[in-house]
Amino acid sequence: MGIKPIYYHYLALTGFFGLFALLMLWNTILAPIHNLPVALILLITVTPLLLPMLGLLNCQPKSCAWAAYISLIYFIHGSVEAYVNSSERLYAALEIMLSLMLFFGSTLYVRFAKTPS
């Protein structure tokens, strides 16, 4: 007997809310960008996460799949940021880890969850 699918969903939710909190803190308190308005940066970085949020919270497989796709954007951003900006490498590594948690949790939940027919 394997792991129950709900635990994969919990992993995805942990990655989702961790990524959401990290992006909010990173762009406002930890290392704000002074060239652009903070509201614009938050709008660009956080809005893609909000698109599948309701379905992800309700355990809908289609929304979980979209959350997995969207998490890849944050994985790429974290990888590039870790390579380019050495002063924010810790935040970028945390973004990579949380986006992978969201990706694998969502993907495995969709794979093993039983869909009602």
pLDDT band, very low/low/confident/very high, at 75 (cuts 50, 70, 90): very high
Mean pLDDT of the chain: 93
pLDDT band, very low/low/confident/very high, at 33 (cuts 50, 70, 90): confident
* Domain region containing 66: 5-112
Query: How many structural domains comprise the chain?
Result: 1
Which residue in 76, 48, 65, 62 sits closest to 102, CA to CA?
65
Q: How far apart are CA 70 and CA 72, in angstroms?
A: 5
Q: How far apart are CA 42 and CA 86, in angstroms?
A: 22
Give the three-class secondary structure for 35: coil
pTM: 0.92
Please check whether residue 117 lies inside any domain of the structure: no
Residues 51 and 70: beta-carbon distance below 8 Å: yes
Please check whether residue 44 lies inside any domain of the structure: yes
CB neighbour list of residue 48: distance below 8 Å, 6 or more residues apart: 70, 73
